[in-house]
Amino acid sequence: MNQRLRYAFAITFALGFAHGASVQAQYRYPGGYGGAGWGGWGGAQTPGSSMARGMGVFAAGAGMYNEDTAAARSMNANTTMRFNEYMYQSSQVAAKKHGEMLQKDRNLTNEQYNKINDRIRNNPDQHDIYTGDALNTAVQDIENPRVYNRNLARATTKIGGEMIRDIPFRYAPACITVSIDDLTQSPPPKVLLSSDFDDVRAAFKSLGQELRKDLETGETPNPATVKKALALINATETKADMILPRNTPDRNEADKYLKALHGLIAMLQTPALDIVLAGVEKHPDATLAELLGFMGAFNLRFGEAKTPSQRLAYTTLYPLLDQLRDQTAPDVASAPPQNPQSGAVGEFFSPMDYNDLQKRAPHPGGAQR
């Protein structure tokens, strides 16, 4: 990961707060926020525009479980679309930065690097497929929000749950890191720089140093550090609720920063894949669209295939993904350009209630985390 991205979270906490925002609804495991998570294997929910990128992780880790009111509170489709576009662009930035780092580490010239990328995209060898690079490149193109719904409608090929179970998924939170790095370029609200929050800023600075150490070794921070960050955010939200009058400009601005920071850090948590994949092998009719929706909802990418069954899965999946990408190309070329702004994150998290953010989801069956 690029040095700037590695330290994005450290910068966030050193500043004290990030800004941004979302919409008010409640959670169902693992359906998500206003239907913005993921419907489960064989569920009635079809992956589509209502599914916000990465929100499966968030929905699995926090929220309220009131089915009656959840049905009445739906995510604004335009808000979700803009959020997806912004997160997609963040993932593109992360991929570019990661590629630049690899190029530098391997002492590759631009010509050599471009040649490797062209091979992975257009004529991958067995190694490119088994490492997951060729599949991830295809998925990156397929997930373009301008054509994503059409791609899912085309991805009707049955691949079966047993094959999905054999995929060595890896969590890819780099786009979240980029988003936070982007958001923290602006200063926090003035009210959060007051003496009332001096202790909070000091605690955030200390956590930032811990995250810096965590992120030195890879793109995923230490879960213990993330847990401490969420606990501190919970405490800060409670403090803001106590000392800042509601429905005032200062409070509204503080809420936007705190809720966005809370939501994004919650999305950093590595999903419990053993739980979200539970029972997938019992669904022989699982389709390529369900796989893509699952990966988008939980911010997943293909890891390295090391066993014979994993390699067989990749050998089978790559031609399907490549074919779908080829069908996508004309649509991407004809789609109007998008220019998503970081404000989309603000719109997405702002209306969420602090009570929703601060609750933890139970395991299926009632066991507590």
| pLDDT band at 53; cut points 50, 70, 90 | confident
User: Of 2-6, 127-131, 328-332, which gets the smallest average pLDDT?
Assistant: 2-6
User: Partners of 287 in the beta sheet?
Assistant: 158
- pLDDT for the residue numbered 128: 95
Distances from the Cα of 243 to the Cα of 201, 234, 246, 286, angstroms? 16, 15, 9, 51
- pLDDT for the residue numbered 233: 85
Query: What is residue 335's DSSP assignment?
Result: S
Average pLDDT, the chain: 76
**Averaged pLDDT for residues 186-195:** 84
> From the CB of residue 316, how many other CB atoms can be counted at a distance below 10 Å?
13
Angle CA(161)–CA(163)–CA(165) in degrees, nearest 5? 70
| pLDDT band at 145; cut points 50, 70, 90 | confident
Cα separation, 126 vs 166, in Å, equals 18
Cα separation, 135 vs 344, in Å, equals 29
| Structure tokens belonging to residue 186 | 């602006």
Kindly provide the residue ranges of all beta strands, DSSP E only, lying in the chain, ordered along the sequence. 169-171, 300-302
Cα separation, 49 vs 31, in Å, equals 14
Cα separation, 41 vs 294, in Å, equals 9
**Averaged pLDDT for residues 154-175:** 91
> Between helices 174-183 and 8-15, what is the axis angle to 10°?
40
Q: Is the peptide bond before 168 cis (omega within 30 degrees of 0)?
A: no
User: Of 3-12, 217-226, 359-368, which gets the smallest average pLDDT?
Assistant: 3-12
Residue 103: partners with Cβ closer than 8 Å, 6 or more residues away: 110, 113
- pLDDT for the residue numbered 35: 54
Query: What is residue 292's DSSP assignment?
Result: H
pLDDT score of 214 more than 70: no
CA dihedral in degrees (182, 148, 349, 220; nearest 10)? -60
- pLDDT for the residue numbered 102: 77
Distances from the Cα of 333 to the Cα of 112, 156, 210, 328, angstroms? 27, 23, 44, 9
Residue 231: partners with Cβ closer than 8 Å, 6 or more residues away: none
Cα separation, 10 vs 207, in Å, equals 8
> From the CB of residue 14, how many other CB atoms can be counted at a distance below 10 Å?
18
pLDDT score of 338 more than 90: no
3-state SS assignment for residue 170: strand
Angle CA(206)–CA(266)–CA(344) in degrees, nearest 5? 105
Residue matched to tokens 């991830």: 136
Share of the chain above pLDDT 90, in %: 23
> From the CB of residue 21, how many other CB atoms can be counted at a distance below 10 Å?
23
**Averaged pLDDT for residues 261-265:** 84
3-state SS assignment for residue 53: coil
| pLDDT band at 300; cut points 50, 70, 90 | very high
Cα separation, 280 vs 42, in Å, equals 8
CB–CB of 257/189 below 8 Å?
yes
CB–CB of 87/329 below 8 Å?
no
CB–CB of 65/71 below 8 Å?
no
pLDDT score of 12 more than 50: no
pLDDT score of 160 more than 50: yes
**Averaged pLDDT for residues 313-337:** 88
**Domain spans in the chain, listed from the N-terminal domain onward:** 1-359
Distances from the Cα of 337 to the Cα of 75, 129, 147, angstroms? 24, 30, 12
Cα separation, 194 vs 200, in Å, equals 11
Residue whose C-alpha is closest to residue 222's, from 262, 265, 251 = 265
> Between helices 174-183 and 249-268, what is the axis angle to 10°?
160
Cα separation, 178 vs 263, in Å, equals 14
Taking the whole predicted model, whether its pTM rises above 0.75 is answered as yes
pLDDT score of 334 more than 80: no
